[in-house]
């Protein structure tokens, strides 16, 4: 577990327009509580805690490693434009393939992982290359 797993997790969330990417950043980097984050985003603290736990698992179980990785990858992941957007009629549409679906983050994430993992892999490679360049220039 490490950088690649964390990137895949965060990129799928970002492409699916899931605010979990912001939630885990607020928890690990801005030190906000899961309860406060839950209230801010209108989700239960248990959902936020689930996202936090997944990030910890994908970071190898280390809170310090999770914080360090998020510090560097969060801005790069946030540059990615979500591909699942609301169509205004209560449904969501995928901008990549045009498929319509319920506006539910779980449905959207399932769609992204089932149909567009090639795009996720491209974003992973892109972010890894940006991180490598950053390391070389410092």
Coil, strand or helix: which one is 93? strand
Instruction: Return the H-helix or E-strand segment holding 30.
Output: none
Answer whether residue 118 shows pLDDT above 80: yes
Distance separating alpha carbons of residues 63 and 69, to the nearest angstrom: 10
Q: How confident is the model at residue 138 (pLDDT cuts 50, 70, 90)?
A: low
Considering the entire predicted model, what is its pTM?
0.94
> Tens of pLDDT along 26-36?
999 999 999 99
pLDDT at site 136: 80
Is residue 129 exposed (0-12), middle (13-18) or buried (19+ Cβ within 10 Å)?
Answer: exposed
Evaluated on CA atoms 98, 116, 120, 90, the torsion sign reads positive
Q: Distance between CA 4 and CA 86 in Å, rounded?
A: 29
pLDDT of residue 137: 76
């Amino acid at each position: 577990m490490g950088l690649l797993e964390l990137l895949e997790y965060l990129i799928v969330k970002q492409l699916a327009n899931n605010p979990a990417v912001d939630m885990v950043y607020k928890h690990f980097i801005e030190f906000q509580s899961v309860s406060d984050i839950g209230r801010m985003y209108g989700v239960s603290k248990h959902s936020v805690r689930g996202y936090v736990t997944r990030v910890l698992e994908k970071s190898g179980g280390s809170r310090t490693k999770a914080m360090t990785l998020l510090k560097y990858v969060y801005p790069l992941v946030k540059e990615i434009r979500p591909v699942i957007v609301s169509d205004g009629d209560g449904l969501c549409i995928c901008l990549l393939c045009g498929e319509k679906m319920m506006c539910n983050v779980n449905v959207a994430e399932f769609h992204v992982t089932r149909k567009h993992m090639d795009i996720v892999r491209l974003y992973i490679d892109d972010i890894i290359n940006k991180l490598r360049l950053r390391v070389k220039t410092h």
